[in-house]
Structure 1
Amino acid sequence: MRLSPATVRRRLPVVLGGICVIVLVGGCSGDTDALPTGAAQAVAPSVRDGYTSDAANDLQNDYETVIRDVLPSVVQIQTGDALGSGVVYDSRGHIVTNAHVIDQTRSFEVTVATGEQPLTARLVASYPEQDLAVIKLDQVPAGLRPAVFGDSGKVAVGQIVLAMGSPLGLSSSVTQGIVSGIGRTVSESAENGGTGATIGNMVQTSAAINPGNSGGALVNLDSEVIGIPTLAATDPDLGGGTAPGIGFAIPASMVRTVADQIIATGKVTDSGRAALDITARTVLDDNYQPSGVAIVEVVKGGAADEAGLRAGDIITKIGSHEITTITSLAEALASEQPGDQVVVSYLRNGEPGTARVTLGEI
C-alpha cells in the first residue's frame, strides 16, 4: 500500500507449570506427606515463574537481535506525494520494493538507515504482473547493508515473524505476528494505484501491514527476509477497510527470481508464471452472472493452440477449479508452473469438452 504523507499516510518453550518440582524432596510419586502443608504449591510457582521469565527474555533478545540485523536494510521511499518501503538487495545500491509503491514514478528520494538526508534513486524496472520493482541509488553510501533473503521452502505456519517498514509514515517501524498460512493466491485491486495482479504462493501473516508497509520486509527469527509485505485483506463489512491481522507478502523466492533478472537484463524474461497463451473475456449467463471465460484469441503454437482449444470456446474449469471470471482463471493458473499439465473443461457450441494442456509461460 502506498501512502500519502499528507494523510499520514526461536521458539518459545512450552511451560509445564510445576511438573515434577517435588523431585527435590521425594521424586515424582505425587506423595507430598514429607512436605509442610502448602510447600509443593510454594515451590512450583517460583520455578515456573523463573522458567517463564527466562524464556520470555530469550524471545525478547531474539527480537532485538533480528531488529538490529535487518532494520538497517529497510528503507523509506518517497515518490512525489506518496511514501512506501523497500529492502536493500545488494551492495551496489539496488533496492527491491512493490511495483504499486513506485507506480508511474521514475525517480525517487530514499531514506536509508545510514544517513538522515534522503538519497536520490532511479527506476531500473517494474514488473506489475508480480507487483515487484527494483530501483537503484544514484550514489551508494558507506555502510549500506543488504538484507539476507531466506528459503521460501522452509517457511511454515506458526513461525514468528516481524514486519518492518514505514507504516503511516512512521519510518523504521516493526510489528510482530506469525505465519498464518502459505501458498495463498491473492488478487490485488486495480484501483488506488494497485496493479490488479493475481499473485500465487503468497505468505499470509498476522503481523500488521498498514499503508506504507508495502515493499518492506517480513523477517523470521534467523534475521532472514522471507517475503515482501504487499497488501492487507479488505473486509466488505467494514466498508472495504482492511481486515485486522490478515496480511500477505510475496515470497522471497519470487522476489529473488524477479530482482535478479531485472538487475541483470533490465527486464523479466522468465516469469515462472503459467499461462494458457490466450486472450479471453468473462461471459455472463442468462441471469447476467459470470459463468465462464470465453477465448477471444489463441496464440499460434501456444499452450491452448497445441491442445486444440479455439477462439469461441468457453472455459469452465481448470482441473478442479471452477472458472467463472478472468480473475478466477488467473487465480487457478497462479498455483501452477510452466510445463505443468492441466485438464481444461470447456463448452464449444454448447457442448462440453475437455483438453489436456501443457501450460506455457507469461
Structure 2
Amino acid sequence: MEISPRRLLPTIAVLCAAGLVAGCSGASEDSSPWEQSRNSTRAVPPPQAVNDLQSDYETVIKNVLPSVVQIESGDSLGSGVVYDSKGHVITNAHVVGDGRSFLVTIATGEEPLTAKLVSSYPEQDLAVIKLDRIPTGLKPAKFGDASTVTVGQIVLAMGSPLGLSSSVTQGIVSGIGRTVTESAADGGTGATIGNMVQTSAAINPGNSGGALVNLDSEVIGIPTLAATDPGLGEAAAPGIGFAIPVSMVTTVADQIITTGKVTDSGRAALEITARTVLDDNYQPAGVAIVEVVPGGAADRAGLRAGDIITKIDSDEITTITSLAETLAPDKPGQEVVVGYLRDGKSRTTRVTLGEI
C-alpha cells in the first residue's frame, strides 16, 4: 500500500449535481393515514443525543479552528497549528519543503502574515515555523494526551484541503500504533513513521500539517498521509488517513523551539549504514551492512560490514524499508534479537538499540 502526503493540488474542480424531487409537499386531503403519519414523523425534532453531538461538534470547531492556519510555501499549500503565544506554528516537513519563508493565513481572515522556518525534521515529517509578527488574538491550540487516544473515538480533521481554508471533516480513530512509509515520489519526505493514528476523517491535499482533534477540543495528531490504492490508479483510498501522534508532535516541537533542532529523537536505530540486497531471482532478500557506527548499537553487538540482516525478533527483513518499519515502534535502549547471515551461515545476536 502506497502512502501519499496530503499537501497540494493546484486547481480545484467543484461538481454540483441537481436532483429531481417529487411529492415533497405535506399530506393532502386524500392522503392515507399511513402517509399522514409518515409525514408528521418527519417534523419530530431529532433525538436529544443528536442535538448534543451537534453541539459538541460546534463547540470543538469554535475552540480549535482559530488555531489552524493555512501555509503557502512557494506553489504549495498546506496547513499548520498555532503552537504557542510566541507565534510558533507546527506543520509537516513536506509542507515547508525546501522553503525558508512562508505566507500564513490565520483563521480571522486577515491578510497573510510572513513567517520563517525555525527548523525542519524530515525524519518524522515535522517542522516549526515562526510568525514574523504576532497578530492580536492569536490563539494557541490545546494539545492532548496520546495515551487517551482509542479506537472508535470521534475526531475532527481541520485544515485547508484543496485550498479551502478552515475546512472541517469528521470521522473516528480507526486504528492506533500504525507504521507507515511516505512516498517520496509524491512529495513526501520518504520517512517511515511509527505509532501513527489512523482515521476515517477525510484527509485531502492541503490538510497536511493541520489538526486532528477530539471532542475535548484537544489536538491529538497532525494529519499527514492518506493511503492510495494502486487498483484505482493511485487515487486516495477513501477513509484511510494517518496523523502523527501528539506525543511525537510535542516532543519534536519543544526541542526545535528550545534548541533550534531535534537533539533527542526518541527513535530506535541499529546505528548502521546499509543497503537492500537481492537474491538470485532479483528479489529483495535482506539488508547488507555497509558500515557500523563505531561504538554504536550494532558494533557493540558484534555486527560488522558485510553481514546481511534477515530478521528482527520474529519479523522478516527484506529491504531497508522493512527494517525501518520494524524498528519504528521500538525505543532506544530496547533489546532485540537480530538474525543475520555471515559468510553464508545464519547467526543471531542480541542488540540494545541506539538512537537515530
TM over 0.5: yes
* 1:337 has 2:331 as partner: yes
1:277-314 deviations in Å (ceiling 9; x for gaps): 00000000110000100000001100000001111111
Aligned ranges 1:93-242 → 2 under 5 Å: 93-242=87-236
Taking only aligned residues, the RMSD between alpha carbons, in angstroms, comes to 1.6
Provide the rounded CA distance (Å) in 2 between the counterparts of 1:8 and 1:164: 20
2:255 counterpart (243, 250, 261): 261
**1:6, distance to aligned residue in structure 2 (A):** 4.2
The match for 1:29 is none
Mapped pair 1:356 → 2:350: yes
Residue of structure 1 in register with 2:74 after alignment: 80
Contact between 1:8 and 1:168, CA under 8 Å: does it hold in 2? no
Question: In the alignment, which of 3, 14, 23 is matched to residue 8 of structure 2?
Answer: 3
Matched residue type, 1:3: L
Q: Does structure 2 conserve the Cα–Cα contact (< 8 Å) formed by 1:8 and 1:169? A: no
Asked if residue 307 in structure 1 is aligned to residue 301 in structure 2, the reply is: yes
Identical positions, percent: 79
Contact 2:7 2:204 in 1 (8 A): no
Give the match for residue 311 of structure 2. Answer: 317
Question: Can you list the C-alpha shifts for 1:218-273, whole angstroms capped at 9, x where unaligned?
Answer: 00000000000001001110111110000000000000000000000100010000
Shift of 1:66: 0.2
Name the CA distance, whole Å, in 2 between partners of 1:327 and 1:61: 44
CA distance in 2, matches of 1:78, 1:92: 20
1:169-201 per-residue CA deviation (whole Å, 9 max, x = no partner) reads 100000000000000000001113210000000
Shift of 1:116: 2.0
When Rg is computed on C-alpha atoms for both structures, the one with the higher figure is 1
Instruction: State how far apart, in whole Å, the 2-side matches of 1:296 and 1:151 are.
Output: 40
1-side partners of 2:276 and 2:171: how far apart? 38
- Please name the residue that 1:252 is paired with: 246
Q: Aligned partners of 2:174, 2:188: CA distance in 1, in Å? A: 24
2:3 matched residue in structure 1? none
Shift of 1:119: 0.2
- Give the match for residue 31 of structure 2: none
Q: Contact 1:315–1:346 at 8 Å: present in 2 too?
A: yes
State the distance in 1 between where 2:350 and 2:71 align: 46
User: 1:5/1:117 Cα in 2 relative to 1: closer, same or farther (>3 Å)?
Assistant: farther
Partners of 1:4 and 1:82 in 2: CA distance: 8
1:272 aligns with 2:266: yes
In structure 2, relative to structure 1, the CA distance for the partners of 1:296 and 1:8 (3 Å cut) is farther
Residue 7 of structure 1, CA deviation: 5.5
**What SS class does the counterpart of residue 195 from structure 1 fall into?**
coil
Q: For the Cα contact (< 8 Å) 1:164–1:173, is it kept in 2?
A: yes
Residue identity in the other structure for 1:320: S
Match of 1:25 in 2: none
Amino acid at match of 2:130: K
Deviation at 1:115, TM superposition (A): 3.9
**CA deviation string 1:74-94 (max 9, x = no partner):** 000001111000000000000
Further displaced range: 344-353 or 185-194: 185-194
Q: Which secondary structure does the structure 2 equivalent of 1:353 belong to?
A: strand
Does residue 91 of the first structure (1) align with residue 96 of the second (2)? Answer: no
The aligned amino acid for 2:310 is: T
| Aligned partner letter, 2:220 | I
Q: Which 4+ stretches in 1 moved above 3 angstroms?
A: 4-9
- The structure with higher relative contact order (CA 8 Å, sep 6+) is 2
**Structure 1 gaps, min length 5:** 10-41
> Is the CA contact 1:114–1:141 (under 8 Å) kept in the aligned structure 2?
no
The separation in 2 between residues aligned to 1:166 and 1:8, in whole angstroms, is 15
| Cα deviation, residue 213, structure 1 | 0.2
Compared CA separation, residues 8 and 197, structure 1 to 2 (3 A): farther
Which amino acid is the alignment partner of residue 122 of structure 2? P
Q: Aligned with 2:184: secondary structure? A: coil
Q: Tell me, in whole angstroms, the C-alpha distance in 2 between the residues paired with 1:4 and 1:233.
A: 16
Taking structure 1 as the reference length, the TM-score comes to: 0.88
1:48-97 superposed Cα distances (whole Å, 9 cap, x missing partner): x77x6100000000000000000000000001111000000000000000
- Give, in angstroms, the shift of residue 3 of structure 1: 1.1
TM-score when normalising by structure 2: 0.89
